[in-house]
């Protein structure tokens, strides 16, 4: 499976987030007539990843807000064609411009500019690319069984009873990714420490100073105002205050341990980059889009310190 490293396109919905539980479908029993047999764990996890991502897409693009704007079968076709290396109905290089024309600022679509089928196919290309980007970031792109990944996508997009119950697949992926995150995070931090300017504290926090500040340094009891951008170690941004220009303001004790330690090493007006191991971030539980045992990178600008009396 040959992969190009590109930047994921941000779209209407996030199909790769943990889906909302649907008790009527997500816990379905497997029926024998369509059940696939898996000879290896790698085959099982490949199918599960495809099924899970497609299940999120099915829910997102069949919701009341999007159902009349997209064709699910064309989304599926775009995903499958891209992943199998088939001839594409829509050029990959044109997908973003097509979606820009199709999606209007008010949330409506313009089928005079781009057909629903072409726009849906472009969405499928984008979703397949997001899957590939995730696999590359986790360094498992060369081990995934693409054909079984695609079978999972087809079952999820067509809302078929899957070979693995949806919630079982989700739990299997969580366990698999949690272990991967531990290994990848450890390797990343070991290699990162070799770069000039990276400092490691006794706790395992790594940081580098981008710009020295000139104001006061906060104590743990203080409140701070901060602009930040959070990234995974593969470079994907998961949260940032920069686009909205609305910084975080709050007690330093309310944030993760890696921030608490790192920010107290800064001065007002300073900028630093933190490399935070999983045990100083969200640990084995994770939080929201941050998976269990994730090592995180934060670019931090300390705008102000409010010393509590």
Shared domain for 120 and 259, answered yes or no, is no
Do the strands 223-232 and 237-240 form a parallel or antiparallel pair, or are they unpaired? antiparallel
Shared domain for 61 and 140, answered yes or no, is yes
**In-domain check, residue 5:** no
Shared domain for 65 and 161, answered yes or no, is yes
What pLDDT, on the 0 to 100 scale, is given for residue 195? 97
Domain end among 149, 179, 209: 179
295 touches 178 (CB < 8 A): no
Shared domain for 118 and 253, answered yes or no, is no
- The domain of 134 spans 32-179
**In-domain check, residue 252:** yes
Number of domains in the chain: 2
What pLDDT, on the 0 to 100 scale, is given for residue 137? 86
**In-domain check, residue 185:** no
Domain end among 130, 148, 179: 179
Domain end among 120, 147, 179: 179
**In-domain check, residue 278:** yes
What pLDDT, on the 0 to 100 scale, is given for residue 35? 83
What pLDDT, on the 0 to 100 scale, is given for residue 208? 98
Shared domain for 48 and 145, answered yes or no, is yes
Shared domain for 168 and 200, answered yes or no, is no
Shared domain for 127 and 236, answered yes or no, is no
What pLDDT, on the 0 to 100 scale, is given for residue 34? 63
Shared domain for 119 and 198, answered yes or no, is no
* CATH number assigned to the domain comprising residue 252: 3.10.50.40
**In-domain check, residue 166:** yes
Which segments of the chain have a pLDDT < 50? 1-13, 17-24, 27-32
Determine how many CB atoms are found less than 10 A away from the CB of residue 244. Answer: 7
Shared domain for 173 and 222, answered yes or no, is no
**In-domain check, residue 285:** yes
**In-domain check, residue 175:** yes
**In-domain check, residue 14:** no
- Contact residues for 143 (Cβ-Cβ < 8 A; gap 6+): 42
The beta-carbon contacts of 81-90 under 8 Å, at least 24 apart in sequence, are 81/124, 81/125, 82/124, 82/125, 82/128, 82/129, 82/132, 83/128, 83/131, 83/132, 83/146, 83/149, 83/150, 83/153, 84/146, 84/147, 84/150, 88/125, 89/118, 89/121, 90/118, 90/121, 90/122, 90/125
> 């990343």: which residue's tokens?
188
What pLDDT, on the 0 to 100 scale, is given for residue 26? 55
What pLDDT, on the 0 to 100 scale, is given for residue 19? 38
Shared domain for 38 and 128, answered yes or no, is yes
Tokens for 146, please give them.
């693409």
Shared domain for 42 and 108, answered yes or no, is yes
Shared domain for 44 and 174, answered yes or no, is yes
């Amino acid at each position: 499976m040959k992969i190009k490293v590109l930047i994921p396109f941000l779209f209407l919905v996030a199909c790769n987030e943990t889906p909302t539980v649907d008790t009527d479908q997500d816990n379905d029993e497997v029926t024998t007539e369509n059940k696939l047999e898996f000879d290896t764990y790698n085959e099982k996890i490949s199918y599960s990843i495809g099924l899970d991502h497609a299940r999120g897409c099915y829910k997102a693009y069949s919701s009341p807000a999007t159902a009349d704007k997209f064709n699910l079968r064309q989304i599926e076709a775009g995903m499958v064609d891209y992943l199998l290396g088939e001839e594409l109905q829509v050029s990959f290089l044109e997908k973003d411009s097509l979606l820009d024309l199709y999606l209007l600022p008010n949330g409506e679509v313009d089928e005079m500019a781009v057909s629903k089928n072409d726009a849906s196919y472009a969405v499928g290309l984008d979703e397949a690319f997001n899957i590939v980007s995730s696999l590359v970031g986790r360094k498992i792109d060369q081990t995934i069984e693409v054909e079984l990944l695609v079978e999972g996508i087809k079952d999820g997009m067509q809302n078929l009873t899957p070979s693995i119950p949806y919630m079982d697949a989700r739990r299997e992926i969580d366990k698999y990714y949690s272990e991967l995150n531990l290994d990848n995070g450890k390797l990343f931090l070991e290699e990162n420490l070799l770069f000039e300017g990276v400092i490691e504290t006794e706790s395992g926090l790594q940081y580098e100073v981008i710009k020295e500040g000139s104001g006061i340094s906060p104590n743990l009891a203080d409140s701070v105002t901060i602009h930040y951008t959070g990234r995974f170690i593969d470079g994907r941004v998961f949260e940032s205050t920069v686009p909205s220009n609305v910084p975080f303001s709050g007690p330093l004790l309310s944030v993760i341990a890696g921030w608490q330690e790192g920010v107290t090493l800064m001065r007002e007006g300073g900028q630093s980059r933190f490399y935070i191991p999983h045990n100083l971030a969200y640990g084995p539980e994770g939080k929201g889009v941050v998976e269990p045992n994730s090592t995180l990178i934060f670019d931090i600008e300390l705008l102000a310190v409010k010393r509590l009396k």
